[in-house]
A = this chain, B = another copy of it.
């Protein structure tokens, strides 16, 4: 009997250890535990890895603390554009949506694309229309807005409207090269994700995001890209990434872990460390990932100060952490 395993993340580039208050830490840890428990329940009841990652990510989307669904960051135009992807390691089926604005849970839209369309990737208002036609809950775009995210946008725009260009730096710089106060890292690399192994030996991965604060409208990062932000294959592993999306696309990050395992015979730990601590830094890629292999091994490396993360092996106590 395989012991089910579930791991989740709420984004790399966490609030600096020196700045986090005990209350804030408690809120994040509570939210991670809550999402983890929701996904674990699915697995404990004999559910599939696919169901578990969808439920865990749905719960993270509902939580205003994380940059996905309710609580998503704002684009340069003060709107929300949400991206999500899901992949089933057993069938290698997958689904993605990008730049959606009205479907309440983008991860459920991604799953509907996978299960109820002949395609695997839909973008924009057509993706929203598809989700609505599938009977998924739709909301007014203001549903996703929070005061904290609006303040982050205003801070980014005050420091120069082109801030996004240097948004991968740890401090905000404007076009004159002036450095402003550091902003919360969570608004840059905020992503949520889940990976799971179910009792039948199936792996699955899911990723969802609001993108980057002050991003140019129409921009798509790695999160909805199968192979970059999300990948699952029963033969190797399930991976969900978080970080500076552009580097993760260039590195084809999520599939790179699987390919290292399949073609170089590396372990999950070796493959994920190689990617996060060697390949990505060489291309200015800051971030992290969560991954599970077919034997239930878990890897959660990151090259930032922190990554909101948690995992649970069925029947054991959950692990929850923010910083190193």
Q: Which residues of chain A (278-298) have a CB below 8 Å from chain B? A: 283
A219 to B126 alpha-carbon distance, docked (Å): 8
Contact A167 B118 (CB under 8 A): yes
Contact B220 A123 (CB under 8 A): yes
Among A119, A127, A263, the most chain B Cβ lie within 10 Å of the Cβ of A119
Q: Which residues of chain A (235-250) have a CB below 8 Å from chain B? A: 246, 249-250
Contact A98 B126 (CB under 8 A): no
Which of B122, B123, B219, B262 is A119 in contact with, Cβ under 8 Å? B219
Which of A7-15, A31-39, A222-230, A305-313 touches B? A222-230
Contact B250 A92 (CB under 8 A): yes
Interface residues on A, range: 35 or more
Contacts of A208 in B (CB 8 A): none
Residue A302 lies at the interface, judged by CB distance under 8 Å to chain B:
no
Residue A259 lies at the interface, judged by CB distance under 8 Å to chain B:
yes
Contacts of A160 in B (CB 8 A): none
Which of B120, B123, B165, B259 is A218 in contact with, Cβ under 8 Å? B123
Residue A145 lies at the interface, judged by CB distance under 8 Å to chain B:
no
A164 to B130 alpha-carbon distance, docked (Å): 15
Which of B120, B221, B259 is A250 in contact with, Cβ under 8 Å? B120
Residue A27 lies at the interface, judged by CB distance under 8 Å to chain B:
no
Minimum CB–CB distance for A79 against chain B, Å: 11
Contact B94 A217 (CB under 8 A): no
State the 5 A-B residue pairs at the shortest beta-carbon distance, nearest first.
A126-B218, A263-B263, A259-B259, A227-B252, A263-B264
Contacts of A217 in B (CB 8 A): 126
A140 to B124 alpha-carbon distance, docked (Å): 21
Contact B119 A215 (CB under 8 A): yes
Contacts of A117 in B (CB 8 A): 216
Contact A122 B218 (CB under 8 A): yes
A231 to B260 alpha-carbon distance, docked (Å): 17
Contacts of A231 in B (CB 8 A): 252
Contacts of A123 in B (CB 8 A): 98-99, 123-124, 218, 220
Contact A119 B216 (CB under 8 A): yes
Minimum CB–CB distance for A238 against chain B, Å: 14
Minimum CB–CB distance for A213 against chain B, Å: 13
Q: Residue on B with the closest CB to A250?
A: B92
Minimum CB–CB distance for A188 against chain B, Å: 12
Residue A121 lies at the interface, judged by CB distance under 8 Å to chain B:
yes
Among A94, A217, A225, the most chain B Cβ lie within 10 Å of the Cβ of A225
Task: List 30 A-B pairs, Cβ < 8 Å.
Answer: A92-B250, A92-B251, A92-B283, A93-B250, A94-B249, A98-B123, A119-B220, A120-B246, A120-B249, A121-B221, A121-B225, A122-B220, A123-B124, A125-B218, A126-B217, A126-B218, A129-B218, A130-B218, A225-B225, A225-B226, A226-B249, A226-B250, A227-B227, A227-B255, A231-B252, A252-B255, A255-B255, A256-B259, A259-B260, A260-B263
